[in-house]
Chain A
Amino acid sequence: MVKVYSITQCPWCDKVKKYLKSKNVAFEEHNIEENEADREACYKLTGDLVVPITTVNDKDYVLSFDKEKLDAMLGL
């Protein structure tokens, strides 16, 4: 399961989501401004609240938009 933690106004979050869509990667969107549980999950995973964060199975993650790292994590 791929999740993208983001906020409403965030150009890099939009870029990550556009990239995943362009590669036909299904993902869940989690807006940490709107959901306290998502904020906590985000903090627990990375120790911070920097967005966007793309996660796989709530374990591996990539901060911001990093094509190489995203491709490696998602096997693209």
Chain B
Amino acid sequence: MDKPRTHKNVVIIGAGMAGLTAALYAGRMNFSVLVLENGIVGGQIANATGIENYPGFTKVSGSELIGNLQAQAENFGAVIDEFDPIQKVRLNATPKIIETDENIYEADVVIIATGMTRRRLPLAESGKYENKGVHYCELCDGHMYQDKTIAVVGGGNAAVDAANFLTKYAKRLYLIHRSQLRADEVSRQRLKENDKAEILLDTEIEALHGDGRLESIDVLNKATGETSTLSVDGIFVNIGVEPNTALFAEELGIGGGRILAGEDCRTKIPGVFAAGDIREKEIRQLTTAASDGTTAALLAEKYINGLKGGNPSW
């Protein structure tokens, strides 16, 4: 059976901060707006336990912030579908085509806001222990480590915040990072003051061990050159992120990095915007993702109006 074909003014790919902000703005312009999400609504911040740097909120969980934004966007008519994965896109076509498992969508404008995915631990044996001691979601899996020993790998804000969160379960927690911490001073200080936590800098994990389940890790102290073994029940990996560009790599000519677009979020293909962490830029924060979503939606309106008049400017 042929898939149903539906036209939308704006199709937004990705329901994180940038995508949902774009949906809110585009919805308020009375455009037909569809947001497609292959993962979880909220993206990376869905797992954030406490956000303390989003203006207007002293502290808010990722789920609360994104839940409010989703409701706001839906209130203005945006439809969010997180159960119909995208198979392929044709961004150079007119109208643009987005084919999912169950539908074919035509769109005047596509806003790419697919964000990033956590980088996997670069050890050959890490796959063997995934969900058997190696984890990528503190909120989902932290509860398994009540009174256990945990290691968090990474040195950015996400890693240190994860470590701070996991101390509520762990009896002992190691934060392991290959160089010096990059996280905010507030988060670092909080962890340093926690008696359960020990911070191991200039240290790398060299190997994982365990009979079916993770039991210990070998760590190399790069300053001394010494390798030692730590008994751990689980590790949570926060060593950075990778852009989700596979769907667009060919048409946008992406060679492994993020999508090239300026502060106006316009890509090299007319009618296609890149917003949020997927866009190549120096600063990637929740606030800048919201800014990109706003910019992309407002300039989408300009493009669609031009399209209707037969003269879309780009």
Contact of A48 among B42, B131, B143 (CB under 8 A): B131
Task: Establish whether residues B131 and A67, one from each chain, have CB atoms under 8 Å apart when the complex forms.
Answer: no
Looking at the assembled complex, report how far the CB atom of B50 sits from the nearest CB atom of chain A, in whole angstroms: 11
Chain A interfacial residues counted at CB < 8 A: 19
A12 on the B face (CB < 8 A): yes
Task: Establish whether residues B131 and A11, one from each chain, have CB atoms under 8 Å apart when the complex forms.
Answer: no
Task: Establish whether residues A33 and B143, one from each chain, have CB atoms under 8 Å apart when the complex forms.
Answer: yes
Chain B 93-106 interface 0/1 with A at a Cβ cutoff of 8 Å (1 = within): 00000000000000
Chain A residues near B83 (CB, 8 Å)? Answer: 19, 22, 67
Chain A residues near B49 (CB, 8 Å)? Answer: 9
> What separation, in Å, do the CA atoms of A70 and B42 have in the docked complex?
22
If over half of B's interface residues share one DSSP class (helix, strand or loop), that class is named, otherwise mixed; here it is loop
Task: Establish whether residues B131 and A13, one from each chain, have CB atoms under 8 Å apart when the complex forms.
Answer: no
Contact of A49 among B42, B82, B143 (CB under 8 A): B143
> What separation, in Å, do the CA atoms of A7 and B51 have in the docked complex?
21
Task: Establish whether residues B82 and A15, one from each chain, have CB atoms under 8 Å apart when the complex forms.
Answer: yes
A12-56: which residues lie under 8 A (CB-CB) from chain B? 12-15, 18-19, 22, 32-33, 48-51
Looking at the assembled complex, report how far the CB atom of B83 sits from the nearest CB atom of chain A, in whole angstroms: 6
B242 on the A face (CB < 8 A): no
Contact of A11 among B46, B85, B132, B144 (CB under 8 A): B46
A72 on the B face (CB < 8 A): no
Task: Establish whether residues B143 and A11, one from each chain, have CB atoms under 8 Å apart when the complex forms.
Answer: no
Closest A residue to B85 using CB positions: A67
User: How many A-B contacts at CB < 8 Å in the complex?
Assistant: 46
Task: Establish whether residues B144 and A50, one from each chain, have CB atoms under 8 Å apart when the complex forms.
Answer: yes
Task: Establish whether residues B132 and A10, one from each chain, have CB atoms under 8 Å apart when the complex forms.
Answer: no
Task: Establish whether residues B132 and A51, one from each chain, have CB atoms under 8 Å apart when the complex forms.
Answer: no
Chain A residues near B41 (CB, 8 Å)? Answer: 11, 15
B130-155: which residues lie under 8 A (CB-CB) from chain A? 131-132, 137, 139-141, 143-144
A63 on the B face (CB < 8 A): yes
Chain A 50-68 interface 0/1 with B at a Cβ cutoff of 8 Å (1 = within): 1100000000000100010
Chain B 31-65 interface 0/1 with A at a Cβ cutoff of 8 Å (1 = within): 00000000011100011010000000000010100
Chain A residues near B144 (CB, 8 Å)? Answer: 48-50
Looking at the assembled complex, report how far the CB atom of A37 sits from the nearest CB atom of chain B, in whole angstroms: 16
Chain A residues near B47 (CB, 8 Å)? Answer: 11
Chain A residues near B82 (CB, 8 Å)? Answer: 15, 18
18 further A-B pairs in the complex, CB-CB below 8 A; given A11-B63, A12-B40, A33-B143: A7-B140, A7-B143, A10-B137, A11-B40, A11-B47, A11-B137, A11-B140, A12-B137, A12-B140, A14-B40, A14-B63, A15-B82, A22-B83, A32-B143, A50-B144, A51-B140, A63-B131, A67-B85
